[in-house]
Amino acid sequence: MANFNHLINREGTNSVKYDLRKEVFGKAGVIPMWVADMDFAMPPCVAEALKGRIEHGILGYSFRSEGFADAITTWLQRRHGVSFDTSSVCFSPGIVSALVVLIEAFTGKTDKILIQPPVYHPFFEVPLQNQRQVIWNELVYEGRRYHMDFDKLAKQLKEVRMVILSNPHNPVSRAWTEEELEKFGRLCLENQVIVVSDEIHSDLMLGGHRHTPLIKACPELAPYLITCYAPSKTFNLAGLSTSAVLISNPSMREQYNQTLQRLHMQMGNVLGQVAFETAYRGGEAWLDELLSYLNATVTSIEYRLSNEFPWLSMSEPEATYLLWLDFRKLGFSAEVLNRKLIEECGLGLSRGDQFGPGGAGFMRMNIAAPRSVINEAFERLKLLKI
């Protein structure tokens, strides 16, 4: 049994989440609940495999064996009931780097790329940094749940070259339903838009919600679809930079791989490959324990919110270990709210406005930490002067 209550000191490990607190929040002592990695040790089978590989002594140039593609496709079949051919599996160091390659491979300068804010900020930062235009299809918040604005989407898609979807959605914690995804996929198909479905959080489902891969909801979209997966969130391996980009359309796959090679990003790292394969083949029982732990944490937070924090609510947590907290009742600007949480509460959360239009007044909280840390964070939240 994994012990998720065990507190591991991450200070002094060059951890972005811990060791950059002073730079980011101006205060080294905040409880770090921002960057999306977990304060839990990786699955023991992964640690063992990495140790075994290190003991060999040589970490020279390596290639990805067939086991790489087999590990992810077998996982996706078993866990999410979706069949991908192993030939569709391509490599990327990370999913953000995959976005850079995909934009370079499939869009030209000034092409329009549609995203649905509030959303993971590289979805708009990467296109903008690469001189593409961003089209904003803002999500609508109703009854503690976000939904897509399909009417607007139908109009906007007419002028768009690519869409980037967060499925499930970071930061608003939506697990898109099959019906929503089918509607979304059909609209994209009608307009022959290239779709990137970022499914990096797909293994982290909460409250009995199930993940629906976009390709399963709308198989006809396959010729236009790119789906991204990684063990980095699921098994807490982000520092190993090993991810998978699945492309069924052979000519698009060729174009992706050529671009990856032109940018010299195809090599990958040998330890990442070991961790990737081992986690997908042997990490399932650990993941189920993790999900039980995260679900229990969410239940305890929901209880506290309704009993102790009448001024605070959150969107229904359906997926990811990131909660989307709604502070708008307090009426503070994004800047003031962030400052007060740092200075009065000693909490380091992600600012909602960082995720684009619709994010101001919200904060994203990473709850992938021992329950003692979460409890302490909510005690500190009571210190907020409202």
**List of residues contacting ligand PLP (CB under 6 A):** 36, 94-96, 120, 166, 170, 198, 200, 230, 232, 238, 243
Q: CB of residue 116 vs ligand PLP: minimum separation in angstroms? A: 12
- Closest to ligand PLP by CB, 46 or 384: 46
Q: CB of residue 168 vs ligand PLP: minimum separation in angstroms? A: 8
Pairing relationship of beta strands 162-166 and 194-198 according to DSSP bridges: parallel
- Closest to ligand PLP by CB, 198 or 203: 198
Q: CB of residue 344 vs ligand PLP: minimum separation in angstroms? A: 27
Which pairs from 56-60 meet CB under 8 Å and 24+ separation? 59/270, 59/271, 60/270
State how far the Cα of 45 lies from the Cα of 55, in Å rounded to an integer. 15
The 10 Å Cβ neighbour count of residue 332 is: 18
DSSP β-bridge partners for residue 205:
319
- Closest to ligand PLP by CB, 96 or 345: 96
Q: CB of residue 37 vs ligand PLP: minimum separation in angstroms? A: 8
Q: CB of residue 313 vs ligand PLP: minimum separation in angstroms? A: 22
Are 236 and 77 within 8 A, CB to CB? no
- Closest to ligand PLP by CB, 305 or 368: 368
Report the Cα–Cα distance between both ends of the chain, in Å, rounded: 42
Q: Which residues contact 219 (CB under 8 A, 6 or more apart)?
A: none
Main-chain dihedrals φ then ψ at residue 57, nearest 5 degrees: 100, -20
State how far the Cα of 323 lies from the Cα of 340, in Å rounded to an integer. 19
State how far the Cα of 347 lies from the Cα of 339, in Å rounded to an integer. 10
- Closest to ligand PLP by CB, 74 or 241: 241
Angle between the N-to-C axes of helices 250-262 and 95-106, in degrees from 0 to 180, rounded to the nearest 10: 110
Which of 117, 156, 378, 105 lies closest to 258, judged by CA? 105
- Closest to ligand PLP by CB, 96 or 275: 96
Q: CB of residue 83 vs ligand PLP: minimum separation in angstroms? A: 23
Q: Which residue is nearest to ligand PLP (CB)?
A: 94
Q: CB of residue 236 vs ligand PLP: minimum separation in angstroms? A: 12
State how far the Cα of 148 lies from the Cα of 19, in Å rounded to an integer. 37
Cα distances (Å, whole numbers) of residue 158 to 31, 220, 252: 45, 19, 21
